[in-house]
Homo-oligomer: A and B are copies of this chain.
Amino acid sequence: MHSKLKGLFRPESVAVIGASNSFDKLGYHVMKSLVEGKYKGRIFPVNPKAAEIWGIKCHPFLGAVAEPVDLAVIVVPAPFVPETLHECGEKGVKGVVLITAGFREIEDSKGEALQEEIGRIARLYDLPVIGPNTFGYVNLGFGVNASFTPEFSRMNPGGIALISQSGGYCHLCGFLGMEQRMGVSLLMSLGNRLNVGFPELIKYLVEEDEATRVITLYIEGLDNPRELLEAAGIARGKKHIIAYKSGKSEKGDSASRFHTGSLAGDYQIWKGALRQAGILEVGSAEQMIDAAKALDVCAPLTGPRIAVLSGQAGPGMIAADAVEKAGLKLARFSQKTQEIINRLLPPIAIRSNPVDMGPAWYDAKGSLDILRAAVEDQNTDGVIFIAMFASANVGLAKALAEYLKTAPPFKKPVAAVFTAPLCIWDKEIEQMDGANGISIVPSPERAGAVMGDLFRANLLGSVHA
């Protein structure tokens, strides 16, 4: 399965069966994703009714393509899927992304029967199939967008893989993640999991996908959760796994049955099982993004003692509250660190923890010296660094960005809150996010929470750095 999945996710060529020039068809948007996403391999649109699609020569059926095809993306209506899968098998494609819906997830029992039929065909040719009922996948690490959402090509490449039981969640988490400059390796929705589910993908990502450092899962319901939990064992000590479980309520449970064909299951049992499997559970898309970003770039948080350094006192106090809410504590600085802070800040500032760096606003070096001292202090395990950037103190943003270009990475996690009006210092903030072991979160509350998640991840022992 692994080598086949490699061909599926790193294809040298892609056929789009059901490609279209019509904006109203998903086959149009899949072509748009590949072309505008600057996919470097060959693209073969397949449609008996067109000569050219998106300016590329079109083939009437898959067998008419003379060259080898690694990946087939299928967007034809459900009744045509069985024969199309046969064609894929005959052609020797390495894998299929089956976007078409109308299988096990529909109320009509014909859907179930159709899904069983295509399952048999896939087994016949030993064909891995993502879907049916998926929006596709985007592999930022390889530069291929095999989905009907071209906008995903704008995401930053990075170390976070998102494997989701819902395409809608991919869009939610993907778009929110884009706002937070989340670095993505692979983003995909499983759909009805014909023969590729969480276990196969976790194994693939752990063993074959070097770009991925953090695996995030959105789970609604599974018939055999044990397989997922066992697969998580393979990741232990190698890559972090974060899971978000929905369908916690009774109503959500029955919705899950319709959506993905599996019951959501008892949430309390899930909670314990995820923890036992070393999986970090989160409770929202925003928390998943914050935690995944921090686990991707920060050093591990090996203890609970947090320093809060803030350019403004109020947000520093809020972060201090959030640190305690997350079950961590405010570090007590060593004498050496306290002396450095006292030297750099006048007595008008709060110089204990949380530190109000306000008076060092115009002194980027002073702020950086305090940051370094706090990270190097033997009495701290992690640092929250906060600055609201506006007209009067923008020099600090520029100087920080400049310094971080060449500085060695911090050996303790640093969660930074660099809040600024949109579209003004985006470039500096983009530069700093992920640099030197710093991960940026949008608010002091989320900085405290992400420190809590880093600490939980360390306790779960998911990765020994």
Tell me the A residues contacting B by CB distance below 8 Å. Answer: 24, 26, 29, 32-33, 101-102, 105-108, 111, 148-151, 154, 164-169, 171-172, 175-176, 178-179, 218, 220, 246-249, 251-252, 254-256, 258-259, 283-286, 310-318, 320-321, 324-325, 330, 347-350, 352-354, 356, 362, 388, 390-392, 417, 419-422, 424, 442-445
Contact = CB atoms under 8 A, between A and B. Distances in A.
Given A151-B391, A168-B388, A249-B321, A420 B175 contact: yes
A432 to B, nearest CB: 16
A246 B321 contact: yes
A107 B346 CA distance: 10
A391 B166 CA distance: 18
B317 A259 contact: yes
8 contacts: A105-B348, A111-B348, A148-B390, A148-B392, A165-B314, A168-B316, A172-B314, A178-B421
A319 to B, nearest CB: 9
A313 B149 contact: no
A314 B259 contact: yes
Contacts of A315: 166, 168-169, 171-172
A315 B286 CA distance: 13
A149 to B, nearest CB: 4
B32 A391 contact: yes
Nearest to A244: B318
Nearest to A105: B348
Contact of A348 (B107, B349, B443): B107
A35 to B, nearest CB: 12
A420 B152 CA distance: 11
B169 A318 contact: yes
B165 A388 contact: no
B444 A255 contact: no
B171 A356 contact: no
Contacts of A318: 169, 172, 246, 285
Contacts of A347: 106-108
Nearest to A287: B445
